[in-house]
A and B are shown apart, each in its own frame.
Chain A
């Protein structure tokens, strides 16, 4: 297939995917009650350990090459799963916050209440985390696609590099996200706050 024919074909596929994703998966504004059942449990300290430079150094130096490759394959799969959860939770919270942001979007920034300022901050963090997870998941997808775990041991990429992508430190940002989300859910009542905290 020549470039003349490939170009409209490529544009067509990208166009219909973009339209289908927008039309059939239309975002529905979420209230706090519909956020809690949809978020996925994620222990950020486990993700932190997975991306820890010391942990990876130990694996590289104390395991045999084959054992390291095997371990890294599992770790890549695991980090992919964690990142998907980060992306999912950030997306759910972004939708929740988009609804909350709508009535205050034209309000004077100096006259915002504490709750409204938190809404803005949480929306920003959720958007940042979505951008981060897109970049990081692309990397993980590439690693899986090219089976980097089968490459020579010193060429096998480290998970530590994923910790900061697009200028975002995922562990710090995710902690911020959960803290602010928890603080905001507190305005809906103690039980909401507890439920959201245990769900995130």
Chain B
């Protein structure tokens, strides 16, 4: 009886997983369209072009991908050709918010060079490493994409941690869009990283968690982004004609750097 009950419970779990698995992508797509609509209404496309492009891309990818679901080979080709683009857009969109808050640091040639090159090096290394040493019976290109995707989640987490730590330390004014966008990316990346780690450590032991963690984390991220775009920001930023000139930005940067240099000289 116990066995029967046990298998009944397991069957129930698989049925729940199936229904959740087919429901979550549609819910996500609907929320993505909602985010795009709110961004359009509030004219946020021009302010966050990469974030808007990322949301539009993942929405389009989900819709087009669902059309190919019955054609296995076509879906396989479509999925793996668009996956690197999604990785790149996710990184660029998270980076966009970082740049908006700490933009004046980008006036430095070495920062402009160092920050993106550190990200590119981490992704290239993990991708190349997986391509050169793929597991037995695995496609090297697919492994390289998966590996780069996993590395990109850690890069996004790193950007998020750096973003919030710098904001706290430098007491920077609360900026609702940028903060919540980065928070969303961080939550989604954390879900992916945890699922990847569980899969890598325990194999198929926690299939439910492995499969459910990333979409649920992404759904939470979508809720955070939706709450951001729906929010009316007070003093969102200087008006177009009121924006600081490059010279003024350079002055502000020099001031911030003076603090850093004081330490470097004395230290």
Q: In the complex, identify which listed stretch (A16-24, A69-77, A147-155) lies at the interface while the others stay far away.
A: A16-24
Say yes or no: A130 contacts B193, CB within 8 Å: no
Give the contacts of A1-25 with B (CB-CB under 8 A): 2, 4-5, 7-9, 11-12, 14-15, 18-19, 21-23, 25
Number of A-B contacts (CB under 8 A): 91
CA distance A105 to B249 in the complex (A): 9
Measured CB to CB, the nearest residue on chain B to A1 is B201
Say yes or no: B168 contacts A21, CB within 8 Å: yes
**What's the least CB distance linking A60 to chain B, in Å?**
28
Q: In the complex, identify which listed stretch (B8-16, B17-25, B36-44, B250-258) lies at the interface while the others stay far away.
A: B250-258
Give the contacts of A173-188 with B (CB-CB under 8 A): none
CA distance A131 to B173 in the complex (A): 19
Task: Report if B109 contacts A (CB, 8 A).
Answer: no
Q: Report if A98-B171 is in contact (Cβ < 8 Å); known contacts: A11-B161, A22-B179.
A: yes
Task: Report if A160 contacts B (CB, 8 A).
Answer: no
Among A5, A11, A106, A166, contact of B248 (Cβ-Cβ < 8 Å): A106
Say yes or no: B186 contacts A19, CB within 8 Å: yes
CA distance A14 to B198 in the complex (A): 19
CA distance A158 to B9 in the complex (A): 64
Q: Which residues of A contact B267 (CB under 8 A)?
A: 166-167
Q: Which residues of B contact A21 (CB under 8 A)?
A: 164, 168
CA distance A130 to B165 in the complex (A): 14
Say yes or no: A12 contacts B183, CB within 8 Å: no
CA distance A94 to B170 in the complex (A): 9
CA distance A94 to B54 in the complex (A): 37
**What's the least CB distance linking B218 to chain A, in Å?**
16
**What's the least CB distance linking A126 to chain B, in Å?**
9
CA distance A173 to B206 in the complex (A): 55
Q: Mark A106-126, 1 if CB is under 8 A from B, else 0.
A: 111100000000001000100
Q: Report if A27-B161 is in contact (Cβ < 8 Å); known contacts: A120-B255, A167-B263, A167-B267.
A: no
The prevalent SS among residues of A at the interface is helix
Say yes or no: A14 contacts B161, CB within 8 Å: yes
Task: Report if B68 contacts A (CB, 8 A).
Answer: no
Task: Report if B200 contacts A (CB, 8 A).
Answer: yes
Say yes or no: B263 contacts A8, CB within 8 Å: no
**What's the least CB distance linking A137 to chain B, in Å?**
14
Q: Which residues of A contact B244 (CB under 8 A)?
A: 106
Q: Which residues of B contact A9 (CB under 8 A)?
A: 194
Task: Report if A56 contacts B (CB, 8 A).
Answer: no
Task: Report if A26 contacts B (CB, 8 A).
Answer: yes
Say yes or no: A166 contacts B263, CB within 8 Å: yes
CA distance A95 to B168 in the complex (A): 11
Q: Which residues of A contact B248 (CB under 8 A)?
A: 106-108
Residue from A5, A26, A106, A107 with most neighbouring chain B CB atoms (10 Å) = A106
Q: Report if A124-B171 is in contact (Cβ < 8 Å); known contacts: A18-B165, A105-B252.
A: no
Task: Report if B79 contacts A (CB, 8 A).
Answer: no
Q: Report if A95-B251 is in contact (Cβ < 8 Å); known contacts: A11-B157, A15-B190.
A: no
Say yes or no: B201 contacts A128, CB within 8 Å: no
Q: Add 20 more A-B contacts to A8-B196, A11-B154, A98-B171 (CB < 8 A).
A: A5-B197, A7-B154, A8-B194, A11-B157, A11-B190, A15-B161, A18-B165, A21-B164, A22-B168, A25-B168, A27-B174, A94-B171, A95-B171, A106-B248, A106-B249, A107-B248, A108-B248, A108-B251, A167-B262, A167-B266
Nearest 3 A/B pairs, CB to CB:
A167-B266, A18-B164, A8-B193
- A/B interface sample: 17 pairs, CB < 8 A: A2-B201, A4-B197, A4-B200, A8-B193, A9-B194, A12-B190, A12-B194, A15-B157, A15-B160, A15-B164, A22-B167, A27-B171, A27-B174, A106-B252, A108-B248, A166-B263, A168-B266
